[in-house]
Amino acid sequence: MTTANLHNQYPSIAEFIAEHRWKACFYPGAWESAEREIPVFEPATGERLASVGIASAAEVARAGLRARQAQPAWAATPFDQRAAILREAARLLQQEAESFIEWNIRECGGARFKAEWELNICVEQLQMAAAMPMQANGELFPSSMPGRTNIWRRVPMGVVAVISPWNFPLLLSLRSIAPALALGNAVLLKPSEFSSVTGGLLLARLFELAGVPQGVFQVLPGLAETGSALVSDPCVKMVAFTGSTAVGRRIAETCGGLLKRCSLELGGNNALIVCPDADLDAASSSGAWGSFLHQGQICMQAGRHIVHRSVVAAYTEKLKDRAERLACGNPFTEAVQLGPLINAQQRDRVHGLVQDAVHQGATLVTGGEYKELCYRPTVLIGVTPDMPVFKDEIFGPVAPIVVYDDIEEALALVNASPYGLAVAIHTGNATRGYEWAGRIHSGMVHVNDQTVNNEFQVPFGGMGASGYGGRYGGPANFDEFTERQWVSLTSDPIQYPF
């Protein structure tokens, strides 16, 4: 069936989903059946929801060639036409919001408010990207040569590969896809195998309906083989990866050997410092939100609560009360704040970290229990810096509390981690908080707030084992998804001595 026929027969994304047009398919610019497929399960129930096709290494290679051929015409498309397509994608996403929200809840296990927030910020992300093509893309520089004009301008990278995770499958895909397309690149997207529909094939249908030309945007679901093929494909000029530090290191090694640009937003073990003069109600609210939102399955999760000795008892009690008020269950059928962890392997890893801390002398204040994949919000006190629950990225609803006696000790505890994504500081003196932020090795520091912050117009990213710095958002997008080119112009050819 041709794309035109699909548009006519299934005009909305909801109808397209209902007919399962993407069953066992992938999207190399049109809907094609794959030889192999990935089952899609609902974490809350274990129900098989669907299947999607796996793009093999050979299919990735064909997709790369197709994208390389389609990209020049897309880059040459007048800026207002590219902007119009992105605005149409934003309109369609808003129009079809409920389909995206329901799939996000069921496939990824997040609460409804989280899925709704993610949908709304993605609409705004597309709208912001639509404004990018009309911005100035060059600068003039003087020349010592009479009659010469020097222009330093941005040109598209070419073909950009986006490898995105499952925890925020729309946001963490679109934050790369939208600006890359806006600036004239073709995009190959590999979503996580745990969010292949929400973070992959629904976006394929969205951009198909919005009018992105065939080959310019392709979705290639799969496992490690698919991702590896994308990273090493000679047609791909840049890789934008969001995921674990271990995988990010391997991608960086491959891209380095190929002299290929890569953008890495990796894991985090983020700290929340509570000073003796902090507002403890606000601090515990930030602590609960930072540790328990989306079951703690966020790279910016507050995984280390570093609390002054004079307020640790009061802070712990307030955090415990907030944790115990949270309901866990099936977010698609129940009004809950926490849903399931993504799979049994992650549940067992989280529980193992909690049990190990207790065995080493920490006290379980609340939580530490689970039913199927729903893990209760957990607070631990008496944690020491040598425990894995303090040193490792948890990616679960666990709040380990470590005590400090002076701010130098607190800052040293923060900076002892190889990660450097996000830090929060709660203090009665915001000016001192700002000064301390300058001494912290972290891409983001929030004073009197929590660690899980995202504003799409502000450059976002981490340091150290958390990535390459503020690479996404606002003005950073222009430099991230373009190359810089020097063009000089002279009216009359220059004659040289020989």
pLDDT score of 64: 98
pLDDT score of 11: 62
The series of mean pLDDT values per 10 residues for the chain, 498 residues long, is: 44 74 82 91 94 94 98 97 97 95 96 97 96 93 92 97 97 96 98 96 95 97 96 98 95 96 94 98 98 97 97 98 98 97 97 98 98 97 97 97 98 97 97 97 96 88 85 87 96 89
88: CB partners within 8 A, 6+ apart: 209, 210, 211
Both tokens of 42, joined, read 């609902």
Alpha helices in 2-111 (DSSP H): 3-9, 13-18, 57-76, 79-95, 97-108
* Helices and strands counted in the chain (H then E): 17, 23
- Domain ranges for the chain, please list them: 13-266+466-485, 271-447
Q: Is it true that 13-266+466-485 and 271-447 share their CATH fold?
A: no
User: 302 has which bridge partners?
Assistant: 270
Give per-residue pLDDT as tens, 88-118.
999 999 999 999 999 999 999 999 999 999 9
pLDDT score of 5: 42
Q: Is 19 a catalytic residue?
A: no
The overall longest dimension of the chain from CA atoms, in Å, is: 83
**What is the rounded distance in angstroms from the CA atom of residue 265 to the CA atom of residue 245?**
8
Q: Are 307 and 455 in contact (CB under 8 A)?
A: no
Angle value at C-alpha 244, between 477 and 113, nearest 5 degrees? 70
Report the candidate in 455, 397, 445 with the shortest Cα–Cα distance to residue 424.
445
**What is the rounded distance in angstroms from the CA atom of residue 402 to the CA atom of residue 390?**
8
Give per-residue pLDDT as tens, 454-464.
888 888 889 99
* DSSP code, position 340: -
Q: Is 448 left (phi over 0), alpha (psi -120 to 50) or beta?
A: left
- Overall CATH class of domain 271-447: alpha beta
pTM for this predicted structure: 0.94
**What is the rounded distance in angstroms from the CA atom of residue 498 to the CA atom of residue 496?**
5
Q: What are phi and psi of 116, to 5 degrees?
A: -65, -45
Give per-residue pLDDT as tens, 7-60.
445 567 877 777 766 678 889 988 988 999 999 999 999 999 988 999 999 999
**What is the rounded distance in angstroms from the CA atom of residue 248 to the CA atom of residue 263?**
9
Residue 97 one-letter amino acid: A
pLDDT score of 2: 39
Among the listed residues 96, 118, 265, 480, the single catalytic one is 265
pLDDT score of 1: 35
Q: Are 424 and 451 in contact (CB under 8 A)?
A: yes
Fold of 13-266+466-485: Aldehyde Dehydrogenase; Chain A, domain 1 (3.40.605)
Q: Are 341 and 373 in contact (CB under 8 A)?
A: yes
Strand pairing report for 482-490 and 159-163: unpaired
Both tokens of 114, joined, read 């989280």
Q: Whose structure tokens read 């994208």?
A: 67
Report the candidate in 333, 337, 339 with the shortest Cα–Cα distance to residue 288.
337
pLDDT score of 14: 76
